[in-house]
Chains A and B, each alone.
Chain A
Amino acid sequence: MTHHLDGNVLAGALSEVFTTDMTAARGRCGGCGHMAAIAEAMVYTDAPGLVARCAGCDQVLATVVDTGDRVILSLAGLSAVELRR
């Protein structure tokens, strides 16, 4: 059974890249335009990296690959990200 967790599992990886709590940030899906908190994404963790997908349309919003000495982050599936000051 392939299962997914919610976007809160991205907190650790994203905290290495961003100074604010990214799971509380909202993002717009580049596929369907759905706007939601990162925490609401569906995150597949049984994979070679973390894969966050839109809860509305399954499009890949973000990926995190941990190489050991590097973190490779893609936000290519998000058309915009909103960060609260």
Chain B
Amino acid sequence: MSFVTRGFSGRRREPDTRLPPGQTLVQDWPVLSAGPTPHVDTADWELTVQDETGTDHRWSWDELLALGVEDVTVDIHCVTHWSRLDMGWRGVSLDKIFEDVESEHEYVMAHSYGGYTTNVPLEDLLDGKAWIATEADGAPLDPEHGGPARLLVPHLYFWKSAKWVRGLTMMPDNDPGFWEQYGYHLYGDPWKEERYW
């Protein structure tokens, strides 16, 4: 290890190695939307998790927050080729949501106010990998960005982080959600560039 080599390798080149293939770094937060923006008051908001017995587990807004809101700093990667690094979020870990849910099923369909859906394997929502996010960039989530609450699954392409989330339904099979039916990848790993079918 010569002095010269150390000098060069010591140069910070983090953004390059943290950008998945085909992605470009942005500083702003583009708004993508496949339909009209639902406006849901937190007083009316509710999250429902439905298991195969038909049992609904429900959380009101206050009940959700009472589970414990944590700070999260993550990189997000949108399939339309932009990425943001070190984005600050606040939300409730899905580990807390699934603590009381018993299910044999391995897949989850996320449902949103407005009708959007996306499918995610259950294991991708557990072990500190996913949240019900209520704040981003230091402020409550705007409706345009999925407020009052959206799913946050940062290790998958951002279409999996369903805006306006209202429900999670356990599924025996990995059925496709909205974009997954219309051409996008069933799983969506940005590091493998799993964009389309």
With A70-B196, A72-B197 as known contacts, state yes or no: A63 contacts B33, CB within 8 Å: no
| Cβ of A65 under 8 Å from chain B | yes
Interchain nearest-CB distance for A26 vs B (Å):
22
A72 touches B35 (CB 8 A): no
Number of A-B contacts (CB under 8 A): 55
| Cβ of A49 under 8 Å from chain B | yes
Chain A contacts for B80, CB-based, 8 A: 48
| Cβ of A58 under 8 Å from chain B | yes
| Cβ of A53 under 8 Å from chain B | yes
B36 touches A67 (CB 8 A): no
Chain A contacts for B1, CB-based, 8 A: none
A48 touches B159 (CB 8 A): yes
Q: Count residues of B near A (Cβ-Cβ below 8 Å).
A: 20
For B168-187 the 0/1 string (1 means CB < 8 A from A) is: 00000000000101111000
| Cβ of A19 under 8 Å from chain B | no
Interchain nearest-CB distance for A33 vs B (Å):
18
| Cβ of B31 under 8 Å from chain A | yes
Interface of A is mostly: loop
A67 touches B34 (CB 8 A): no
* From A2, A44, A49, contact of B182 by CB (8 A): A49
What's the Cα separation between A63 and B183 when bound, in Å? 9
Chain B contacts for A15, CB-based, 8 A: none
| Cβ of B195 under 8 Å from chain A | yes
Interchain nearest-CB distance for B58 vs A (Å):
26
Max chain A C-beta neighbours (<10 A), residue from B30, B80, B183, B196: B183
What's the Cα separation between A67 and B197 when bound, in Å? 9
| Cβ of B79 under 8 Å from chain A | yes
Identify the 3 closest CB pairs spanning chains A and B, nearest first.
A65-B183, A72-B183, A2-B33
Sampled A-B contacts (17; CB under 8 Å): A2-B37, A46-B33, A47-B32, A47-B33, A48-B184, A49-B34, A49-B179, A49-B182, A51-B34, A51-B35, A58-B35, A60-B35, A65-B182, A65-B184, A67-B195, A70-B196, A72-B196
| A interface with B by C-beta (< 8 Å) | 1-2, 44, 46-49, 51, 53, 58, 60, 63, 65, 67, 70, 72, 74, 76
